[in-house]
Amino acid sequence: MYKLSEQFTSTSKAGVESFVTMANATFAGFERLAALNLDTARSLLEDNLVNTRALLTARDLQALVSLHSTRAQPGPETAAAYSHSVYEIATETQGTLSKVVKVQVSELNKKLGLALDKVVKTAPAGSDLAVNAMRTALSAANSVYDSMSKAAKQAADIAEANFAVAASVAVRNSKKVA
C-alpha cells in the first residue's frame, strides 16, 4: 500500500512539473509575442510620425512623389520581418512543448514496460498471450507516435522553407513596384 501511494505521489509531482514547464514555455512565448507587438507598434508609430513630418515639409509635387517612393519601400520588408519573428516565436514555443511531451511519452513507456514486467512475473500461467498483446500494442503506439512526430517535423520544415521563399518574393516584388 505504501509503495502504491509513493508511486502515485511521484507520478503526480512529475505531472505537476511537466505542467509548470509547459505553462512557463507558453507564457514565455506570449511574453515574447507581446514584446514584439509593442516594439512593432512603437516602430510604426515613429515611422508614421517621421513620414507625417516629411509630408508637411514637402513644398511641391516632385517632393511628394520622392517621399512616396522612399517611404513606401520599407513597409513590405517590415511586414516580412514581423511575420518571420512571429513564426520564430511560435516554432520555438512549439519545440519546447514538444520536448516536454516527448519526455512524458518516454517516461510513460518506461513505466508501462516496468508494469508489464511485473505483470509477467505475477501473472498466472497462460497469460503470456495477453501480455505479449499488450507489448505489441505498446510498440505499435510508439511507432505511430514516432511516425507522427517525424511527419510533423517535416511539415514544419517545409512550412518554414515556404515561408522564407514567400517572404523573399514579397519583398522582391515590393521593390519592383516601388
Query: Where residue 171 falls among pLDDT bands split at 50, 70, 90?
Result: low
Instruction: Spell out the residues 6+ positions from residue 78 whose beta carbon is closer than 8 angstroms to its own.
Output: 40, 43, 44
- Domain total of the chain: 1
Rounded to an integer, what is the distance from CA 53 to the centroid of its chain? 40
Residue 5 counted as domain residue: no
Residue 58 counted as domain residue: yes
Residue 52 counted as domain residue: yes
- Per residue in 8-43, pLDDT tens? 677 677 778 888 988 999 999 999 999 999 999 999
Whole-model pTM over 0.95: no
Residue 2 counted as domain residue: no
Q: Domain containing 24: what range?
A: 10-177
Query: Where residue 177 falls among pLDDT bands split at 50, 70, 90?
Result: low
Task: Give percent of the chain with pLDDT exceeding 70.
Answer: 88
Nearest to 117 by CA among 143, 142, 138: 138
Residue 1 counted as domain residue: no
